[in-house]
Chain A
Amino acid sequence: MTNQVNAENSIPALKAESTVTFEPLSPSQLVWRRFRKHRMALVGTIGIIVLVIFIVIGSIIVPESAANNSDLHNRLQAPMATHIFGTDSTGRDVFNRIIYGGQISLMIGLLAVVLEVSIGTVIGGMAAFYGGWVDAILMRFTEAMLSIPSLFLLIVLAKFLGHDIPTITILGRTFSGSVGIVIIVIGLTSWMYLARIVRSNMLSLREMDYISAARSLGASNGRIFFTHLVPNTLGIIVVSATLGLASAILTEAYVSFLGLGVQPPTATWGNMMEQAQSFMTQGAWWMWVFPSSFIVMVILSVNLMGDGLRDAFDPHSSRHA
């Protein structure tokens, strides 16, 4: 009798367990979980956060005038106690310029990405949503934009928009108007890839079973678009935006290096590189090593973060974390 498994007695244990509810994880929680397990992505994220904190605290401690303070008698000084990163060709402190340059470079990157994502999503989305000749025209337009070398577009836009906006004053700080130009130029020359990706993603989503199911239930096109297609494409958009940020910062460096970007005296990491180029043969290594190191650090961190996000968002990834 006592050896018999008492089914009645074991059921309360089961019952107790069954009262514990399992809440299914939401998609964003799933994404976060996968992201957390991606070590390099975390390193990248921490890197970005550290750099941003450095720039924010830096700009609170150091006044902007210190970054633009020229002191001809102290020009081209190697790093020393009073100027940790040395001075540039007119005696301005490189360390301070890295801080303020970082502000501008990051701001340009962020705003350019916002512009690029907006345009790309709208165009790609419209092409996928309407299909037919709207799709054909939009995609041909995208291809046309892709086939014009971006360098050429940069030259033209920089010149065309250039001389009408001398300086902008926001919140008491003055920026060279070329900051806005660069943002617009980068935004206008990098939306094409995103548009294509958004469109192809939405097109393939449209063929999925659950969309046909929704349609058979009577959902309108608009509802399908906004309730199903857009949220499921968000992942790709976020990933593209993150990688686009790295690309935008890189583009700003490239553009300023060619002399088409933000004009001094407003500092960016890119135009600090451009100024450094003329003094490289004079041995002023500190003028290019520091801005380029910071550029590389930011881009590397953002790329790592973006890579992690891509793996986190993609449920078909074979990474079993």
Chain B
Amino acid sequence: MKRMMFVLVSVVMVASMLLAGCAGGAGGNKTGTGPGGSIPFQSSGKSVTIAFSQEPDLVDALFSSMSYSAWVAQTTLVGLGTWDANKNLVPELATEIPTAANGGISADGLTITWHLKKGLKWSDGQPLTSADVKFTWQVLTDKGNAVYTRAGYDQITSIDTPDTTTAVLHFSKLYPPWQTLFTSGPNNQGNLQPMHILQGKTGLEKDPFIHWPTVASGPWVIASWVAGDHMTLWPNPNYWKGRPKLDQIQIKFVPDPETALAALKTGDVDFVPDFAESDVPTLTKLEPAIHTRVDGLGDFEHYLFNMGVKGTDTGQSDYDGFCPFKDVNVRKAIILGIDRQTIYNTLLFGTTPVIANLWPNSNWTNTKETPYPYDPKQAESLLDTAGYKAGADGIRVGKCNGVDTKLSFNFETTTKQLRQDVATAVQGMLKQIGVEFKPNFVPAGTFFGNYAAGADMATGKYDMAGYTTGFYPDPYTDNFLCSSVISKQNQGGDNNYHICDPALDKLFAAVNASADPAVRKTAIDAVQQYLYDNALVIPMYARANVMAYQDRLILPPTSGLGGMLGDTFDWNVKK
């Protein structure tokens, strides 16, 4: 009996030791050339350690929806252009950005010509040519590849490659957001794929190269990747700009930002890119050993009203939205009843100003707008005008469509701490003007589910909801169009607001009617004004990238559009 136990125990111990032996070991040799032609790290070199609180699923921006994947992907595979600190598109692998003046854009706007720099090479020494541009387009439009998005690429009818450095794109119709094609950027935009490695294959999402790119066109090569633990980047000797100032970047995967902060404090980690706005007070206390940087993003958190109208026509939904929301005075009153400034001061620590519209931190923002102020008196008088008077319990009641309706409704959002705190604060504020705002927190996987999963936003079964999104770098969006309203007839739509307003549709159509940036700016200003005047959504706050890093790290200014690691080429460490 005891012997049997002893045997069992020894078996368990031996087995785990054996398996441990099989598991260990990082890849890549430390002498000669590293994997993919990279420059191996010497112990005397400069190394920086980054902590990610999520591990990338695969490192190719075309196939992954994770932002962490895109951050790494865009250091190793780059595109024709990239975004600078002023949010303008600048050349990366191209010699210049196509414009009408330099002949890059044809008169009718349907032909765009890109010129690549001469002598470009992949990290393994193979030449990088316009054939790779055409190949990337083929990868994206191949129905056998489960790519993240084909939007825009499917508007290209053909690509000519008259010589190795010229690619001529022919569009079937005007596509004003063409700057987002083949360029590194947010939302996992398209980077060039190597034809010499992937040619002739389909179903690329399962290809090992897509999981872990073995050659690079950008400053770094992924030299090793120990699943669940860390990733190591070494310089690409063939990058057109030269060598990065650093010799190695290591990315450590930690379970959550708390662990990352602990590692930052102990000096085990140099840079953490993904803190929340609420971490700012803790982080700023760590100066001067640890610096904090806050970069405003084009992403924003907004609260939306369910504007659905029940019916089966285009633009109609399965359910009616909460009746009082049809009255613009009610919507305005709710905005006026939320003290956004106090929320920013206490919960967001001034990391972002109060925003007026849905295009913050961008060159497209309507600068003539000022945000709705916090004016509970005005809110109350608007509600009085709308016919809602306070009942015995302090909550307003009034007639809507002839039915007595209490201003009491549900608000749905995810379980993130900051969202919970903001919603709780809003609940207290709206109570004071006689509106009962009932927050309900659901896990993100449920909240963002699609129509088939029965999610409340998609099916239109909510009253108010809150989430983050962003319309950048191109300002156009189809999220407000009648044709995008999600319903039984249109299950794949994008319009969570369930709003169908022909006037709004027309304004959005004007944004894409021309490729001229000045014309588009006027059009998008008009859209913003309309949304503001009609109080159709509540812009709550702009999101910010909060990063913290050791004093030894020297970071250049960044636009935030190149992802967290977009400027690692220029990173340096102090002596």
Contact = CB atoms under 8 A, between A and B. Distances in A.
Contacts of B421: 89-90
A166 B347 CA distance: 26
Which interface class (under 10, 10 to 19, 20 to 34, 35 or more) fits A?
A: 20 to 34
Contacts of A70: 424-425, 427-428
B424 A90 contact: yes
A263 B442 CA distance: 8
Contact of B346 (A69, A75, A280): A75
Dominant SS among interface residues on chain B:
helix
Interface string B414-448: 01010011001101100000000011111101100
Contacts of A69: 428
A167 B417 contact: no
B342 interface: yes
A163 interface: yes
B282 interface: yes
Interface in B424-482: 424-425, 427-428, 438-443, 445-446, 456
Nearest to B412: A163
Contact of B424 (A167, A176, A265, A277): A265
A280 B421 CA distance: 16
B424 A281 contact: no
A72 interface: yes
A282 interface: yes
Contacts of A264: 420, 424, 439, 441
A166 B279 CA distance: 30
Interface in A140-170: 158-159, 162-163, 166-167
A69 B428 CA distance: 7
B55 to A, nearest CB: 20
A156 to B, nearest CB: 11
Given A70-B425, A89-B421, A275-B417, A282 B443 contact: no
A47 B258 CA distance: 35
A73 interface: yes
Contacts of B513: none
A275 B418 CA distance: 10
A259 interface: yes
B10 interface: no
A63 B49 CA distance: 51
Contacts of B282: 281-282
Contacts of A278: 258, 278, 417
A70 B439 CA distance: 14
Given A280-B258, A281-B282, A263 B440 contact: yes
Given A90-B421, A264-B441, A162 B415 contact: no
A167 B490 CA distance: 30
A282 B410 contact: no
B262 A159 contact: no
Contacts of B440: 163, 166-167, 176, 263
A260 interface: yes
B343 interface: yes
Contacts of B261: 281
Interface string B24-66: 0000000000000000000000000000000000000000000
A316 B441 CA distance: 51
Nearest to A280: B258
A277 B438 contact: no
Contacts of B343: 72
A275 B456 CA distance: 25
Given A260-B443, A264-B424, A72 B346 contact: yes
A66 B112 CA distance: 64
A159 B258 contact: no
Given A75-B346, A159-B446, A263 B424 contact: no
Contacts, number: 64
Interface in B282-340: 282
Nearest to A282: B282
Contacts of A162: 442-443, 446
B443 A259 contact: yes
B281 interface: yes
A281 B443 contact: no
Contacts of A72: 342-343, 346-347, 425
Contacts of B347: 72
A191 to B, nearest CB: 25
Interface string B343-358: 1001100000000000
Nearest to A263: B441
Contacts of A73: 342, 346
A158 B415 CA distance: 13
B253 to A, nearest CB: 19
Interface string A162-193: 11001100000000100000000000000000
A201 to B, nearest CB: 25
Contact of B425 (A90, A163, A176, A260): A90
A252 to B, nearest CB: 16
Interface string B231-272: 000000000000000000000000000100110000000000
Interface string A254-272: 0000011001110000000
B392 to A, nearest CB: 13
Given A259-B415, A282-B282, A265 B439 contact: yes
Contacts of A280: 258
B415 A163 contact: no
Nearest to B428: A70
Contact of A281 (B262, B417, B427): B262
A223 B282 CA distance: 68
A115 B428 CA distance: 36
A159 B417 contact: no
A162, A260, A265, most chain B CB atoms within 10 A: A265
A75 to B, nearest CB: 6
Interface in A74-112: 75, 89-90
Interface in B398-424: 410, 415, 417, 420-421, 424
Contacts of A176: 440
Given A90-B421, A259-B415, A163 B446 contact: yes
Contacts of B428: 69-71
A275 B439 CA distance: 16
Contacts of B441: 263-264
A163 B417 contact: no
Given A70-B424, A89-B421, A263-B415, A282 B439 contact: no
A81 B427 CA distance: 27
Nearest to A176: B440
Given A73-B346, A166-B438, A265 B427 contact: yes
A163, A166, A260, A281, most chain B CB atoms within 10 A: A163
A162 B446 CA distance: 9
Nearest to A159: B446
A44 B424 CA distance: 37
Interface string A232-247: 0000000000000000
B395 to A, nearest CB: 13
Contacts of A263: 415, 440-442
Contacts of A265: 424, 427, 439
A259 to B, nearest CB: 5
A210 B415 CA distance: 58
10 contacts: A72-B343, A73-B346, A89-B417, A166-B438, A166-B440, A260-B443, A264-B424, A264-B441, A278-B278, A282-B282
Interface of B: 258, 261-262, 278-279, 281-282, 342-343, 346-347, 410, 415, 417, 420-421, 424-425, 427-428, 438-443, 445-446, 456
Interface of A: 69-73, 75, 89-90, 158-159, 162-163, 166-167, 176, 259-260, 263-265, 275, 277-278, 280-282
9 closest A-B pairs (Cβ-Cβ)? A72-B346, A278-B417, A263-B441, A70-B428, A282-B282, A90-B424, A70-B424, A90-B421, A259-B415
Given A72-B342, A259-B415, 19 more contacts: A69-B428, A70-B428, A71-B428, A72-B346, A73-B342, A73-B346, A90-B425, A158-B443, A159-B443, A162-B443, A263-B442, A264-B441, A265-B439, A275-B420, A277-B258, A278-B258, A280-B258, A281-B282, A282-B282
